[in-house]
Amino acid sequence: MKHLIDPTDFTKEEIDEIIEYGEYIIANRELFRDKLRYHKLATLFYEPSTRTRLSFTSAMMELGGNVLGFSDARSSSVAKGESVGDTALTVGNFVDVIAMRHPLEGAPYVASKVSKVPIINAGDGSHAHPTQTLTDLLTIKRELGHIDNITIGFCGDLRFGRTVHSLIKALSRYKGIDIVLISPDEMRLPDYIKSDVCDKLGLRYKEVRSIEEVIGELDVLYMTRVQKERFLDEDEFERVKDSFVLDCEKLKGAKPDMAILHPLPRVNEIRQEVDADTRAAYFRQVENGKFVRMSLICKLLEWKDDPSHSMPAHPEYFQDPGRHCRNTKCICNHENVTPLFHETEGGIVRCVYCDSKV
């Protein structure tokens, strides 16, 4: 059975199949009205969301299916101390597929280990957000006509922005990708992505401090919000919160067909005046999110009993009672799960649940 916890759980071929099927759905919406009649999706959202939860709901409804779940874990048995695994096992009796968002990193992974139905990670802490990645890939394809051979600038909070982490991982599978990282020092991309993804897989990247110096090179500008809720130090947040703001003046230096993406919500990093620019693709991106989730749900159900679509095996994962994951936001420090580790580039040992260095 296939779950979607991390973008690399899918092969490049599987990702391309989902994107292409999403495009087919867009062109043939009426064919899908009853596609998943009598099927159910659960949305288990332990953390706030507007777009992701509603687009999952809308996607399932547009396929003729039904949706149940919660958007506030305080109203569920979680408030009584139920574990993520037990909740997934329980809800799996009621539905065909589960989308889960959780503030603890690795929570959807833990759920996938016990679940009888496919689990979709709808965002876990600062770690990953693979369905936003599918949305972003479909958007790039529709805006530019291709995903290979592009220069993409990531701007803003590259440290805590899980959508950035997941998209970079996914892009490492495409040809001719150049990445430009635009952020202040406090919000730079985590080392594990630079070493284990960019360096290891040969993804070219450079780090710069301003949008202006690179905007003319970019095919895609991926703006992000500073993730206030993930800063442990409020002063640090105050210092960086208005670091990068995109306005029409800065856009004067950009290519005429550059696409501006943003996973949304925006705070003030894109001025409203930019919305009228034809290059502003972020609201089209929202709509693509629904279509790609329709595609994903169909494919996960289609692949469920097909052994040629199983999860990647990780024989290299190991236990070690002498080691601890120090990430306070990792599920292994909150629930009774077996700490697991793996060795990555340069002999660095990382936690399997959250990828932080141990």
Q: Is 34 exposed, middle or buried (0-12, 13-18, 19+ CB in 10 A)?
A: exposed
How far is the C-alpha of 225 from the C-alpha of 263, rounded, in Å?
Answer: 9
Residues 155 to 174: which contact ligand NCD by CB under 6 A? 162-163
CB of 162 to ligand NCD, least distance (A): 5
What ranges in 273-326 are assigned the alpha helix state H? Answer: 282-303
Q: By CB under 6 A, is residue 133 in contact with ligand NCD?
A: no
* Residue from 57, 87, 115, 132 binding ligand NCD (CB under 6 A): 132
Which tokens hold the place of 349? 């040992």
Place of tokens 């990780």: 314
Question: DSSP string of 132-176?
Answer: HHHHHHHHHHHHHS-SSS-EEEEES-TTT-HHHHHHHHHHTTSSS
- Total of chain residues touching ligand NCD, rule CB under 6 A: 10
Residues 6+ positions from 311 with CB-CB distance below 8 Å: 1, 2, 3, 9, 112
* Residue from 35, 51, 230, 250 binding ligand NCD (CB under 6 A): 51
Contact present, 98 and 342 (Cβ < 8 Å): no
Site string for ligand NCD, 262-291 (x = CB under 6 A): -xx---------------------------
Q: By CB under 6 A, is residue 7 in contact with ligand NCD?
A: no
CB of 115 to ligand NCD, least distance (A): 22
Q: By CB under 6 A, is residue 53 in contact with ligand NCD?
A: no
Q: Is 28 exposed, middle or buried (0-12, 13-18, 19+ CB in 10 A)?
A: exposed
CB of 131 to ligand NCD, least distance (A): 8
CB of 260 to ligand NCD, least distance (A): 15
* Beta carbon nearer to ligand NCD, 199 or 287: 287
* Beta carbon nearer to ligand NCD, 34 or 229: 229
* Beta carbon nearer to ligand NCD, 22 or 92: 22
Chain residues that interact with ligand NCD, rule: CB under 6 A = 51-52, 123, 129, 132, 162-163, 225, 263-264
